[in-house]
Structure formats: structure tokens, C-alpha cells
Structure 1
Amino acid sequence: MVFGGATGVPPVDRRGRQSLDIVTSSLKRVIVRLFIALDIDDAIRERMAGFMDGLRGFAPDVRWVRTDSLHVTLKFIGEKPTDFVTKVTEALGAIRVAPVEIAFRGYGFFPTAKSARVFWAGLHAGPELQKLAEAVDGVTASLGVEKEEHAFSPHLTLARKSGGAGAPRRQKGDGPNRVFQNLQEKLAALPEPEFGTMTAREFFLYQSQLSPKGSRYTKLQSFPLRAWSSR
């Protein structure tokens, strides 16, 4: 039997078209949790893994980040429909910033040592990292993402107090606690940790998926770091 006349293509009736439109619209409304970050070199990751393994027993009640998930966050976007991924990918591809050299060393606590909620490793970089963070913030703001109110504070989160946010600045509910006290006493007896230096030559758009075992991060797109050509 031949459908749809000489073409052999069956016609789509009104109900079929409506169903297709509903499916397409539903796909656009699927929500994904997004952020933009730099990955770290394997050698640095391994040194941090050893550092963290030696400290977990001094703060057993906090949530330690899986070492394969360590990254330098440039911008947390949050939950967006899937069609936003295409828009932000195109916009991020226009960023031109030179590769960034980063030295990883030291540690600290957010918001303060006495009211510790986050344990982090420090990083030190030239002005390119700040330029990159500002460029990413500007691009995402043009797509309706809330612009950052405070200066960029680069760090690597190693552990968080259970139920605590990762934000550097004081949050509602922050106050003196002893969750990290034993860890802080242990760290005070150790030399400042040095994890190494790397050159970041690309940054990434990540999807974050929450699960009972912790967040799982998937790279959706990479973007090369390169300065504007003088040619």
C-alpha cells in the first residue's frame, strides 16, 4: 500500500503533529545543571589525592570531594533547559584569553577557620585567570545568568561540612564549629603543601548530576585558551 500519494510518505495528521510538538517542547524543557571550569593535570591530581588520603581520618564527618572530580570552577550556571547548552557553547567559543599558568599550593577554610564550612587548596596564577573568569561571567550574563557580585576567588574545594554550600563568603547559618578542628590541628604541624604547576590550555562546560554517592561531572564541551592573533 502506498501512503501519502506518489511520494510514499505517510501524512502526519493533526494529532500526530501535536504529539510531535509536545515531545519537542518537552525535550527543550529537560533541565541540566551546568558549570564552567578548568580541569587539572593528572600529576597534580595525584599529589592532591595523596594529601587528602592522609587527612580524611582527621575530619571523618565532612563530605570529601572525589579526586577525579577536582576542578577549578570559573562560573556556576545552575539549572537550565537543554537548549541553553547550544547557546552558551556558541558564546563561550568566542572567548579569547591566553593559556593560564597555575601553581597549586597552600590551603584554607571558607568562610573562616573558626566557622569552617569548606576546606580548600590554594592556587596562584597570573592576570590571565582573572581575565578568563571575567570573560566567562560576561558571556553568561549576556544569556541571562546572574552576574557575580564579588571578585573571583580561585580555589580547589577538597571537603565540605555536610549540608554546607561551597560559596567562599559567609552564608546564613555559618557560625563557630569544631567540624574541622582536628584537621586544622594536624595541618598546623605540617609544612605548607606544594602540589605543582600546570598550564591550562582549555576550559570546559560541565554537566553536574546529583546522586546519593555524590555529584558526577561530565564534560560537555571544551574551549581552547588562545589570545587574539595579531595577524
Structure 2
Amino acid sequence: MRTFVAIEISNNDVKNAIKNFQNNLKIDANPIDVNQLHFTLQFLGEISEDLLEKISESLQTIKFSEFSINLKGIGVFPKPKFPRIIWIGTDEKGGENLIELAKKVENVLKPLGLVPDKPFKPHITIFRIKKKIGDITKELNEQKLVDFGIQKIFSVKLKKSELTSSGPIYSDLEEVIAVK
């Protein structure tokens, strides 16, 4: 099964702000369903049932305290002249906390042979762009200071991703709750 470790966006005010942004940005791209918005701390790829159990046990050893992040700023991968992904970033402190949490995930999964293919960059994908749409620098510059609100980070989830013709379907496999 195809899996990843993530933090979900659960604040409805934040989801509504993102939905409004998606509706108002006039570009030819596929918006991500706001109920699927998340930070991918580590993509694990295809794993076996045996490995799933070991991953779940390892993730449960992670200890972290609840914290908040401010979702703000818009970015693009790889670049505005040739966009494939449009994303939302975080405030500096929130981003640092997410990077620290991603590092904890990486450290407990490394002994199982699961190593990230690239360094974690705190972002939430809000659009996927399948075809060439040209330079969107102007559209992004008009929106780059948008503030989407505050999200509390209180759990990390191991998620399963089933790819379908109408997009991925995510389901929860394991949850690690922040310590109080």
C-alpha cells in the first residue's frame, strides 16, 4: 500500500480561507479538495503489511508538544514561469517546529530503511497543474501576502493513499497525539 506521514489541516476557518483563495485565483489548474489538505512530513511509498506494523510502532515513540502555525504566503514548484504545484507556506516559527517534527519522524523511520528522498520544506499543496499554463508570476505576486489563519498541530498521522482517476483517496492508518 502507498503511504505517507502527514499533518492534516483541520481548522474550518483556514479551510474556508484556502477554498476562497482557490476559487478566486484565475488559473487553469486543479485545486486540491480542502478536506485533503496536509503537510507531508515524509512520503513512504509502497509498504508491506509487516512494515506497516513496524512503522506504526516506531511513530508511536515520537514525543512532541502541541504548537500553532500561521499559514501564509504562496509559492510554486518548480518556478512561476513553469508551475506544477502551487502551495501555501508558514510563518518562520511554525515552519521551524514542522521541520523539527519531520526530523523526529525521519529519525524513528530511518532504522526501518525509510529515508526521505528530499529535505522537508513546510508547505501545503493547494493546486496541481497538469498542463503548461505559462507564467503566473503576476497572479501570485498579487496574492503572496495572503494570511490563511492559524492551525493547531496536535497530531501526526500515517496515511494510506489510493490513486484513482478522480484523484487520490486518503485514509488514516495510525495517529500520534501530542503530549499534554
Is 2:74–2:143's contact at 8 Å kept on the other side of the alignment? no
Q: TM-score, normalised by structure 1?
A: 0.70
Distance of 1:162 and 1:39 partners within structure 2? 24
Task: For residues 31-60 of structure 1, give each alpha carbon's deviation from its aligned partner in whole angstroms, at most 9, with x where no partner exists.
Answer: x110011111222111101110112xx222
Task: For residues 46-96 of structure 1, give each alpha carbon's deviation from its aligned partner in whole angstroms, at most 9, with x where no partner exists.
Answer: 1101110112xx222x33211111111100000111222211111100011
Distance of 2:65 and 2:101 partners within structure 1? 9
Q: TM-score, normalised by structure 2?
A: 0.89
Query: Identity, % of aligned pairs?
Result: 28
Is 1:59–1:180's contact at 8 Å kept on the other side of the alignment? no
2:5 is matched with: 36
SS at match of 1:116: strand
Aligned residues: 177
2:22 is matched with: 52
Is 2:82–2:133's contact at 8 Å kept on the other side of the alignment? no
SS at match of 1:214: coil
Does residue 144 of structure 1 match 2:113?
yes
Task: For residues 80-120 of structure 1, give each alpha carbon's deviation from its aligned partner in whole angstroms, at most 9, with x where no partner exists.
Answer: 11222211111100011222321101101112222322111
Distance 1:191 1:135, change over 3 A: closer
Does residue 155 of structure 1 match 2:109?
no
Distance 1:82 1:220, change over 3 A: same
Distance of 1:59 and 1:77 partners within structure 2? 31
Does residue 63 of structure 1 match 2:30?
yes
Is 1:101–1:126's contact at 8 Å kept on the other side of the alignment? no
Distance 1:91 1:51, change over 3 A: same
Which consecutive residues of structure 2, in runs of 5 or more, have no partner in the other structure? none
Superposition pairs for residues 73-152 of structure 1, below 5 Å? Answer: 73-124=40-91, 125=94, 127-145=96-114, 147-148=115-116, 150-152=118-120
Which consecutive residues of structure 1, in runs of 5 or more, have no partner in the other structure? 1-31, 164-177
Does residue 217 of structure 1 match 2:176?
no
Is 1:110–1:117's contact at 8 Å kept on the other side of the alignment? yes
CA apart distance, 1:152: 2.0
Is 1:38–1:74's contact at 8 Å kept on the other side of the alignment? yes
Q: Which has the larger strand fraction?
A: 2
1:185 is matched with: 138
* AA of the residue aligned to 1:86: E
Is 2:73–2:144's contact at 8 Å kept on the other side of the alignment? no
CA RMSD of aligned residues (A): 2.0
Distance of 1:131 and 1:188 partners within structure 2? 29
* AA of the residue aligned to 1:43: D
Distance of 1:192 and 1:78 partners within structure 2? 34
Distance 1:79 1:158, change over 3 A: same
Bigger RCO of structures 1 and 2 (CA < 8 A, at least 6 apart) = 2
